[in-house]
Amino acid sequence: VFLGDRKMDPRENWRPYLRQLAMDQRAGLTNALFVRQVPSRSAIPTVALIADGEQLQNMNADILRYGLGDVERRAEANGLLAGPGDQIFPMKMRLRGTNMWHHQQWKPSLQVRLAGRKLVDGYRDHLLVAPEDATGLRNWLSVELANRMGLPNTEEAPVRVFLNGAYKGLYTRQRRLDESLLIHQGRPPGPFVRLESMMGRAFVRKEAMIYSPQDWEVQGTSDPEAARESLRPLLELCNEPPSPQRFARMNELMDQDAMANFLVLAAHSGTTHLEHHNLAFWLDTVSGRWVPVPIDLNGYGMRAGTDPDLSVVLFRNMIFYSWLQDPRNLALFTQRLDAYISGTGSAQ
């Protein structure tokens, strides 16, 4: 594992960005056009959606205006979702995500919410994400391994999607970071905090600062400011010099066991997405400790071939770096990683 940094200015090195763009577009196009329909006898669940055609066109057209800040909300389409048997459920649907690869017309990522408090397959909110790699398996693998490690996770799993009778290919369905996820996984209620490297809409974005609680998005609670105040001591602690007192306080604020497992998964998957991006934590209100939540790791070779210099980044994230500065935590991480590579995560 190379604990290094990757800094790249697109004005100086633009070719990897073009390759990345091509890969993202190709993944969605491959899934939509060149993959055969899954047989009806497959165990993969089906999500069948029916929506107003004109509203679908408006939803697609208005995403640019939303990204520019010209409209307050993303356009929605009213429709129906087919449930088990012959059941039909009213729903609203909109495009999901900020980046353009989520809005490809041939395979858009969708957020579907059922009316009332109805559930289908245990979901009220169906987050249907177009896979970023053509196989659709790499992020699923990270989530599956996280689940086996006992980490909270989005339960990402493949579904086949039909929209107005047209087969749109395989998607991954995910749970929202909210109370329903915690209930389903048998965990106590508590807020989630999440950080993306950029804040705001697609064309009016600014860089998010990991050390600023206000830049963290809060989900799963009606009191986001209280969640940010709970996060503040952890972020402030990361700016203190190493000391036994800081190490002890860090382990009072972070779940030591979950953190070690999470970093093992990050190292094993080869993710480079964790410097200050795709970070998520859940506050376990019973223990009072923050627990990492793996989301969108994009590991296991997803970026292979686009940039040969990509490396696992653990020490460049201030939270991970501060936690690993404690020799006991570093020893726990290396022991867990060695055991994982020799066992569940071995080549065999």
Cα distance between residue 137 and residue 277, in whole Å: 21
Mean pLDDT of 11-28: 52
% of the chain exceeding 90 in pLDDT = 50
Residue 163 is encoded by which pair of tokens?
């929209």
Instruction: Read off the pLDDT of residues 207-230 as tens digits, 9 standing for 90 and up.
Output: 778 889 999 999 999 999 999 999
Q: Give 291 or 309, the one with higher predicted confidence.
A: 291
Mean pLDDT of 234-256: 96
Cα distance between residue 69 and residue 203, in whole Å: 8
Q: Based on the number of CB atoms within 10 Å of its own CB, is 267 exposed (0-12), middle (13-18) or buried (19 or more)?
A: buried
Q: Give the pLDDT band (50/70/90) at residue 307.
A: very low
| Residue 124 scores a pLDDT above 70 | yes
Q: What value does the mean pLDDT of the chain take?
A: 83
pLDDT at 128: 95
pLDDT at 36: 64
pLDDT at 76: 93
Closest C-alpha among 202, 144, 148 to residue 172: 144
DSSP string, 306-337: T-TT----STTSHHHHHHHTSHHHHHHHHHHH
CA angle (224 as vertex; 190, 99 as ends), nearest 5: 100
Coil, helix or strand at residue 183 = helix
% of the chain exceeding 70 in pLDDT = 83
Cα 105 to chain center, whole Å?
22
Q: Give the pLDDT band (50/70/90) at residue 312.
A: low
Q: Which residues contact 76 (CB under 8 A, 6 or more apart)?
A: 55, 59, 92, 93, 94
pLDDT at 101: 72
pTM of the model: 0.84
Q: Give 317 or 207, the one with higher predicted confidence.
A: 317
pLDDT at 6: 33
Q: Give 344 or 324, the one with higher predicted confidence.
A: 324
Q: Give the pLDDT band (50/70/90) at residue 299.
A: confident
pLDDT at 73: 87
Decide if 187 contacts 177 (C-beta within 8 A): no
Cα distance between residue 329 and residue 55, in whole Å: 53
pLDDT at 57: 86
| Residue 52 scores a pLDDT above 50 | yes
Mean pLDDT of 231-245: 95
Residue 336 is encoded by which pair of tokens?
């867990």
Instruction: Read off the pLDDT of residues 93-115 as tens digits, 9 standing for 90 and up.
Output: 999 887 777 877 778 899 999 99
pLDDT at 298: 83
- Where do runs of H (alpha helix) occur along the chain? 15-29, 53-68, 138-148, 179-184, 224-237, 244-253, 256-269, 318-324, 327-342
Cα distance between residue 319 and residue 299, in whole Å: 20
| Residue 304 scores a pLDDT above 70 | no
| Residue 158 scores a pLDDT above 80 | yes
pLDDT at 11: 42
| Residue 186 scores a pLDDT above 70 | yes
Residue 38 is encoded by which pair of tokens?
């899954």
Judged by phi (left if over 0) then psi (alpha if -120 to 50, else beta), residue 177 lies in beta
Mean pLDDT of 181-199: 90
Coil, helix or strand at residue 157 = strand
